[in-house]
Amino acid sequence: MKLIIAEKPIAAKRIAAILGKPKPVKKNGVEYYKLEDSVVVPLKGHVVKVDFPKQLNNWYKTDLIELASSPLEYSVSLKSIEKVLKSLARKADEVIIATDYDREGESIGKEALSIVLGVNPSLEVKRARFSSLTPEEVRKSFQNLSEFDENLADAADTRREIDLLWGAALTRFISLSSRRTGKQFLSVGRVQTPTLALIVEREKEIKAFKPKDYWEVKLKCVKGREEFTAVHEKEKVFNEEEAKKIKAKQFKEAIVVRINKTKQKLSPPTPFNTTEFLRAAASIGFQPLKAMSIAESLYMKGFISYPRTDNTYYSSIDFRKTLKMLSSINVFSGLCKKLLEKKKLTPTHGKKKATDHPPIHPVSKATPSDLSKEEWKVYELVVRRFMATLAEPSELLSVKAVLEAEGEKFIARGKTVIVQGWKEYYPYSKTEEEKLPELSEGEKVRVKKLEVEKKQTKPKKRYSLSELVRLMDKLGLGTKSTRAEILQKLLDRRYVSGKKTLTPSETAFAVVDVLEKHASEITKPEMTSKLEEEMDLVEKGKKKKEEVVNESRDLLKKVLAKVNAAKESISNQLREAVRSDKVLGKCLECGNNLMIIRTKKGTRFVGCTGYSKGCRVSFPLPAKGIVIPLNKKCPECGLPMVRVRMPGRKRYFEMCIDPNCVSKKDWGKKSENSNRSSEKHS
């Protein structure tokens, strides 16, 4: 009998249905599938956990250097699956690992192998590798089984052990130093912290920015019935006297002194790898972790290829076959037929070429009725990107008109899409057109109005999730598989807040500042990217897991020695920052701070720090949920506003802290996704 091991229940069910006529069997609460000569058993991701010995689990009594030196223990976390695997392994003569083919999937497969080989060492081990759960690819993978890759699994376990060591030791140090433990502990991570440092550094630049005054000078011109705007050749006039002199002039007409027309070709986008997919998903409203979750669901259901890939080169995809399949979906029918009319389909490609999985692309037909609204939105994004990579370039006509009036030169610009090309297939990338009337050199136009507006230069914008995903990829922070979880963790830990752009909290500033001062290694991307290189060597068999982990242990011990030496000053800075993050605003009665206060019983309320001076202003807070200051005032009463995210729900409430305020009627009208990372440390 062949024992086939899949990564998740939905994958096991699909694989079994593709390979034969499965008979579901339930044992110890685990449903698996019997076929004629084999059985397909699902895991639930990792079935083995790695942790410290139990005697080191007490945060308050464990020496951190001892923690960094401690051996790590692997133990089965899902006993019901272990029992089923052992029972079936005793009857089997061959085991086939059919988990996702990447480092994490190989590590999960290795865990299952340790269980089944423990009871039946004579089992022949094989590996099924596939990039989509379509019947054609799954059957092909089982007809061409390969060897299990121990090195690939070791590379994943190297990361797992190092992330646990660094995350546990530094998280305990920072949390204990700040006295913020329990559910609200402060986490530190090998990838998480340098990513947070990027956000904090950008915020420091914004706060340090000193705006400069400038004047924007525009002419509102008219030709016939068409109006257009021409901007002074100095887009920003920084000299006030110069701006006043221009404003004093009488502009009645302007002469067109030069016309430049240029055609510009915009190449189609490259195929989706994980990074570009997450960026595109963020641009249409999905947080990275949510986007990955939906993509994984579509993959498991057999609609798209494996969503964790660095590859931007299509290799063995039959484009015409895929387009014919997509043409049976009404919304894509016309677009697919247009592509199929081309004699040759030549796709674009990016810089990254890998051999494990192709770029993310559609592999089977889905309709809106087959999927949830969110799934369809992501599926459509993937389909449209695929079509766009096969389409023609888009063409723009850019017009630059130089006008002269009263000795001053002004520039009018026009932009028109003359060939839609790939933009017809991929509407997420829009070109803002600017219409100009047909102008010719020497022509005079009437000036309707002169506008001189005082403005100020602006700092760089805060990072968006989309920008951070790309920056993390560029700096080697995390992997295609972990970046979404890291960004979500920063939100969940309340280090940052925001939906479109990310703003760091005072606690985030303090954590980054103390680590930069006393252990800068953990805030820089170099250490993390260096480890990625080390794991590549483990994957290639050029370095052993134990060697890389021990090198990282030695570095961690040096960092812990540094922060321990400055423990008191670090503690003071962190505690002050945590306290600042509890300040909601000013008391309207006495002017002191209104803060979130917790009682010994665990309840909480908003109280005034002027209590010792006789101020008794206080407001209740909801008993459950995470309270996040919004740093804005209620438009009705002027008191601070907060956001309350309820546990286990995809909703939040924005509310005034006064429960009697009329703004309370707005509770519950807003919602957002609230994803929780299942990882313990990062």
Evaluate the CA torsion angle 375, 378, 384, 390 in order and state its sign.
Answer: negative
Contacts of residue 408, Cβ cutoff 8 Å, sequence gap at least 6 = 217, 232, 233, 246, 249
SS3 228: strand
Phi (first) and psi of residue 581, to 5 degrees: -70, -15
Say if residues 393 and 267 touch (Cβ distance below 8 Å).
yes
Catalytic sites, residue numbers: 306
The dihedral over CA atoms of 381, 382, 384, 390, expressed in degrees to the nearest 10, equals 150
Neighbours of 402 (CB within 10 A): 18
Contacts of residue 413, Cβ cutoff 8 Å, sequence gap at least 6 = 398, 399, 400, 401, 434, 436
The angle formed by the CA atoms of residues 638, 641 and 642, to the nearest 5 degrees, is 165
How far is the C-alpha of 174 from the C-alpha of 618, rounded, in Å? 31
Dmax over CA atoms of the chain, in Å, equals: 96
How far is the C-alpha of 126 from the C-alpha of 65, rounded, in Å? 41
Beta bridge partners of 417: 396
Q: Which two tokens stand for residue 474?
A: 């560029």
Say if residues 606 and 619 touch (Cβ distance below 8 Å).
yes
Say if residues 96 and 126 touch (Cβ distance below 8 Å).
yes
Would you list the DSSP string of 394-445?
EEEEEEEEEEEETTEEEEEEEEEEEE-GGGGT-TTS----B------TT-EE
Would you list the DSSP string of 307-343?
S--------S--HHHHHHHHTTSHHHHHHHHHHHTSS
